[in-house]
Amino acid sequence: MNPHQHGEVFVTEDGAETDLDLGHYERFVDQNLGKLSNMTTGVVYRSVIERERRGDYLGHTVQVIPHITDEIKDRIRANAHENDADIAIIEIGGTIGDIESLPFTEAIRQMKIDEGTENVMYVHVTLVPFVGPKNEMKTKPTQHSVRELRNIGITPDILICRTKAPLSDEMKAKIALFCDISIDGILEGLDAQHIYHLPVRFEEQGFAKKVLKRLGLPDETPDLSRWQHIARTIESPKHTVKVAICGKYLEHAAQPDTYISVVESIEHGALDNEAAAEIVWIDAEDREGIARELSECDALLIPGGFGERGVEGKIEAIRWARENDLPFLGLCLGLQTAVIEFARNVACLEGAHSTEFDAQTPHPVIAILKEQRAVEKKGGTMRLGTQPCSIAPNTLAHRLYGQSLILERHRHRYEVNPRYHRQLTSAGLKLSGLSPDGRLAEIIELENHPYFIASQFHPEFKSRPTRAHPLFSGLLAAAIKRQQERATQGPQTIDELRRSIA
């Protein structure tokens, strides 16, 4: 999936490479999801074709109905069964009427017949736009969307109306009349200051009560204290810090879906420290301006990525952070570029690089994983999903995690070359996290630095708004401390600033 076109590729515990929307579900429901939670047209059709090749259909003509729709329903049930779920939330993306979604909408129509009316509930999200010079609210798109749904046999039980302003009673009555739905079933998806306001907003409208009543499930008083605390922190943070993300997929920085889990995790770390984080986007290809921009930030994060473009800029940014005590967190490629920078400028391994970018480097401190060398098909064949990591005692990583064995998600082909472990550690690089067999460097860090740590895995995939990942919480705590120390020291002189930038 191209990050420019699609955004982030989210990785599940069992190694599925999925749409970034699944990451939103994990963050909100605080449950680890897997391969069965991500259903695409390709997966469905491939499964049906494989069954037909095996002769499972006994010579019957294979058709969209019932074979494709049955496969969709079977996958919904299998996922619910695997997770011992009380409720299965099924999102069908896109717009009602899209040709791509028709087999899926037909499948969920059939679910009401299969499972019983009392066990299926349809929630439809629609847009109520404002048009014209007077910003007149229009319900026609909602009416049309519901009509399309009803044409295929689905009548929504609840409408969530996306809107910039509250719906009047008159507007709700109009929607109810033309969409054949009770006024009580119309909820406002009012634009909020932040997406993390929504759980409390929907609870105030009784969304959960309506769902539980409809499905005949116990209705208990929810504990929203953590979400309420998050809302208060967003509205009145005690601190505001600048966190630089130095990456290369910045053509769409105004809509940073390529790094969405990283951005969310930075925010989680900020919320955990009762702070707000301002993201400063630094283009890794603009090497000239990196030092100047970093000098105004409180922390640096280098995210993952693929390809040679922008690598030297990331290495330069890491060098500046190391030499100027700027809190630093590297993720996946961020760890690899940190190792390259350290090898070149501290361990005196001139020309050190990754064989991904320079096959002829004299010091291949980053090399392809042993098990990846024979891989020819590149789709879905990386080191993917959850892997264990042993953390050394008396390290920053151990203080952050508070435990000696962790499980984190991976997505990479290259590693810190084991042949250079001894040289790097002798020069002062601490390999604080290793695979249980001691072969793979999973976490690196530096002593005598306020906060310098990087992981080969992707911690952003496990961070939650109500439970920030320790690597991000630690980064934001270090950023706040740096900001406070700089405030007590007073502004830098021109000469000091020039020296730091140089």
Q: Is the pTM of this model over 0.85?
A: yes
**Pairing, β 452-455 against β 328-331:** parallel
Q: How many residues does the chain have?
A: 502
- Classify the phi-psi angles of 490: left when phi > 0, otherwise alpha if psi is within -120 to 50, otherwise beta: left
The distance from CA 349 to its chain's CA centroid, rounded to whole angstroms, is 35
- DSSP, collapsed to helix, strand or coil, labels residue 134 as coil
Q: Is the peptide bond before 66 cis (omega within 30 degrees of 0)?
A: yes
**What is the topology classification, in CATH, of domain 239-501?**
Rossmann fold (3.40.50)
- Give the phi and the psi of residue 349 in degrees, each rounded to 5: -95, 85
Residue from 353, 412, 458, 469 carrying the catalytic annotation: 458
Q: Rounded to an integer, what distance in angstroms lies between the CA atom of residue 458 and that of residue 435?
A: 15
pLDDT at res. 254: 41
Q: Which of 332, 356, 363, 415 is catalytic?
A: 332
Q: Is 458 a catalytic residue?
A: yes
Active-site residue flag, 13: no
Cα–Cα distance, 441 to 283 (Å, whole number): 27
The two three-digit tokens of residue 126, written as one number: 């629609």
Active-site residue flag, 398: no
Rounded distance, CA 239 to CA 276, Å?
6
Long-range contacts of 269-272 (CB under 8 A, 24+ apart): 269/463, 269/468, 269/469, 269/472, 269/473, 269/474, 269/475, 269/476, 269/477, 270/237, 270/241, 270/476, 271/230, 271/233, 271/234, 271/465, 271/468, 272/468, 272/472, 272/473, 272/476
* Residue 253 confidence (pLDDT): 46
Q: In the chain, where are the structural domains located?
A: 239-501
Running along the chain, 502 residues long, what does each successive block of 10 average in pLDDT?
Answer: 73 90 92 91 94 88 94 95 92 88 95 94 94 84 94 94 92 93 94 92 94 93 92 95 87 65 96 96 86 95 85 95 97 96 96 92 88 57 87 97 96 91 96 94 96 97 96 98 88 56 54
| Euclidean distance between CA atoms 47 and 17, whole angstroms | 18
Q: Beta-strand (E) ranges in 219-291? A: 239-247, 275-283
Cβ contact 365:338 at 8 Å: no
Closest CA to 413 of 365, 454, 372: 372
- Tell me which amino acid residue 146 is: V
